[in-house]
Chains A and B, each alone.
Chain A
Amino acid sequence: MSALAKLLSHPAIWRGDRLSSVSTPSLPTGFPALDAELPGGGWPAAALTEILPQHEGIGELRILGPALASLAARGRWLAWIAPPYLPYAPALQAAGIDLARLLVVRTRSPRETLWAAEQALRSNSCGAVLAWPEKIAWPELRRLQLAAAGTQALAFLFRPPRAAGEASPAALRLALDTCEGDLAVRILKRRGAVLGQPIRLHPAPVVNRNRTGFHHAVDFALFPALPARIIPAGISAL
């Protein structure tokens, strides 16, 4: 290593083209390509993270799967506040998330959503707080960011793609889109230099193309003693 490189690797020196090497507490995302571009090498704890998916169903939850599973496995609580649809228990379990640590909170108004999210953060008892606010303004974002800063929880806020143009106090902002079937993560904001290129990830695939074992669940009214049977595809069920 040259003398200059040695000097520049001193922790007190920060270069504009690099991620800040300040050790922010964080949790690996489970995607090494993403970890490499995040300050601290993972989802930042004690800070607000915004996720802005272009469409629903492109992997906006699957990208959180590994982190949520590891938090739940360590006995930390996961609070889902005002989710847009029903978090589906069998799929969550299949993703390795311990459902005993899951809390779903339904709200009736945007105000209640923000209140519940703030309470969940301030209580300092959750490993991760996920919230889907319908609308949120700067002062409320600031409140949540402050509430998040006082805990060790991961705080995820899901917002529509049009929010990308608005300023936000969140420490990390990710825009998600698809690119040739992959999930393309564009880092809108992070603590450190701007990253131009989107990161391409392959979150847990929905369909395993190598596997053909699809199943039918058919019950036969003729055999009431057997209310439901599993018959592999390929065998004519009826």
Chain B
Amino acid sequence: MSLATACVLAPVLNHRQRDPAAEAAALGQIAAWAVQFTPAVSLQPPRGLLLEVEGSLRLFGGIGRILDAVKRGVADMGFTVSVACAPTVSAAWLLARGGAERVFAGARAIRDAISPLPVRVLDCDAQALETLAAIGVRSLGDLLSLPRDGVARRFGQHVLDQLDRALGLLSEARMFFTAPPRFDAALELAAGVASAEVLLFPAKRLLTQLAGYLAARCAGVQRFRLALGHEDAPETTLEIGLATPSRDAGRLVILVRERLAATTLAAPVTQVRLQAGEILTLAGDTGSLFPDRMNDPGDWARLVERLSARLGQEAVHGLAPRAEHRPERAWQATAPGAGAGAGQAARSPRPLWLLERPRPLDEVDSKPHYHDGPLSLIAGPERIESGWWDEADVKRDYFIAQTPGHSMLWVYRERKQPGGWYLHGIFG
């Protein structure tokens, strides 16, 4: 039936162009996710995926659990799936194509299992299917009861080979899928999405894929990139970092949610793309009988991640001293938890608060004044003169000063022209 005819019959018909490249990419993404169940994953284009799971039964606790995990995961990624399990790969494929969710073992049962399937599950041309229908062959069972040489002559040897492979009479060699070294998956959104909250759903699908991909490699990510493509604007990229490597989809989703909540979209989003370049090895969790909640580094790591996902990476940091005379350079921001380290112990008192920019103080009768009156200089001067080599040299005399309200301040007199008094710290 042509599209025009279909549209006349059903005016509300919503039709789309089929995109084989996107289908192939989607199949590759599901395969990359499925490698977590078995290393023997094989593609059956355009929409089949074959997994050899016998070696994984013990690890996952039975075929039922594997099938449940597959169905749940594929649904989370936004696809529908029909699964079947059989002793030969072709039999499983025919059963899955026939939509029969069956699980069985034992080579003898194959013939009984595939016999009721309609002949259209076979990979053969439309003309052959028409001929089969014309001679009253509807199921594979009917086809199997026909003389073999006749079938081969009329419909081609490949039809017979498919049946033989399913029955295990003919051996079958398949290429195994190898996951790409970098994770890169994208989802096209049918309609532009303008709300950051709605974007969480496609992002969740991609993160589920990423989690499967990482599980297969016993790996984790410490940073990943979410690129939001727009119709007619440069794409928005969100770089998301974690405190410790992880492959926990739930944890990644929380971070993406915080980050999306803090993002304003320039334009409706038409594509969501998830990329993870650095794949780090990550051992599985060891279950502890008595989890030590208070000293669990996991809680801390998760806190740092949540804060930096919402507030920005540079807004959450640790502190470390630096061996440097200039007060504004005697410290540095570090990654959270990486603080401390060597710095020279200050020989003179230093204030607990430092002003990022020294604040000029009023000068009355050559004495510095603060809000509530003249400052009395209690200690000093401490002369700091340093930094001529990097164009940021300072020439200052530092004093500890007290306000009339007994606040302790760290002030300095500028020795370079034009001079003046400045507040640089507060003894909090």
Q: Which residues of A contact B (CB under 8 A)?
A: 54-62, 75, 77, 83-95, 98-108, 112, 115-116, 119-120, 123-126, 152, 178, 181, 206-208, 213-219, 221, 224, 227-228, 230, 237
Contact = CB atoms under 8 A, between A and B. Distances in A.
A102 B299 contact: no
A104 B316 CA distance: 6
Given A98-B340, A107-B311, A206-B408, A214 B380 contact: yes
A86 B340 CA distance: 16
A126 to B, nearest CB: 8
B378 A178 contact: no
B353 A104 contact: no
B336 interface: yes
Contacts of A217: 325, 382-386
B320 A56 contact: no
B294 A206 contact: no
B425 A219 contact: no
B10 to A, nearest CB: 51
Grouping DSSP codes into helix (H, G, I), strand (E, B) and loop, the A interface class, with mixed when no group exceeds half, is loop
Interface in B369-428: 378-389, 400, 403, 405-409, 425-428
B99 to A, nearest CB: 47
A142 to B, nearest CB: 22
A89 B330 contact: yes
A99 B348 CA distance: 19
A207 B306 CA distance: 41
A33 B388 CA distance: 49
A107 to B, nearest CB: 6
B427 A206 contact: yes
Interface in B304-345: 304, 306-307, 310-311, 315-322, 325, 327, 330-333, 336-341, 343, 345
Given A57-B428, A119-B303, 12 more contacts: A55-B405, A55-B406, A56-B428, A58-B405, A61-B428, A88-B351, A88-B425, A92-B352, A108-B315, A116-B307, A119-B307, A227-B389
A125 B389 contact: no
Contact of A207 (B304, B319, B339, B349): B349
B303 A87 contact: no
Contacts of A90: 321, 330-331, 343, 345-346, 350
| Max chain B Cβ within 10 angstroms of own Cβ: one of A57, A75, A83, A126 | A57
Contact of A88 (B354, B378, B387): B354
A85 B427 CA distance: 11
| Max chain B Cβ within 10 angstroms of own Cβ: one of A55, A75, A217 | A217
A85 B321 CA distance: 16
A20 B310 CA distance: 41
Nearest to B331: A89
Nearest to B347: A215
A106 B311 contact: yes
Contacts of B58: none
A58 B299 contact: no
B176 interface: no
A123 B408 CA distance: 35
A104 B318 contact: yes
A99 B355 contact: no
11 contacts: A57-B427, A61-B353, A61-B428, A85-B353, A105-B316, A106-B316, A108-B311, A112-B310, A206-B400, A213-B347, A237-B385
Contacts of A87: 319, 352-354
B331 A215 contact: no
Contact of A178 (B352, B400, B405): B405
Contact of A219 (B320, B381, B386, B427): B386
A104 B319 contact: yes
A54 B405 contact: yes
Interface string B148-172: 0000000000000000000000000
Contacts of B316: 103-106
A201 B389 CA distance: 45
A98 B321 CA distance: 11
A116 B352 CA distance: 22
A16 B52 CA distance: 76
A32 B384 CA distance: 38
A77 B386 CA distance: 35
B80 interface: no
A93 B321 contact: yes
B111 interface: no
Interface in B9-48: none
A92 B310 CA distance: 27
A180 B318 CA distance: 36
Contact of B350 (A61, A94, A101): A94
Contact of A89 (B294, B320, B383, B385): B320
A89 B343 contact: yes
The 4 A-B pairs with the shortest beta carbon distances in the complex, nearest first, are: A57-B407, A178-B406, A61-B428, A89-B331
Given A99-B340, A217-B383, A107 B400 contact: no
A54 B428 CA distance: 12
Nearest to B407: A57
B296 interface: yes
B319 to A, nearest CB: 4
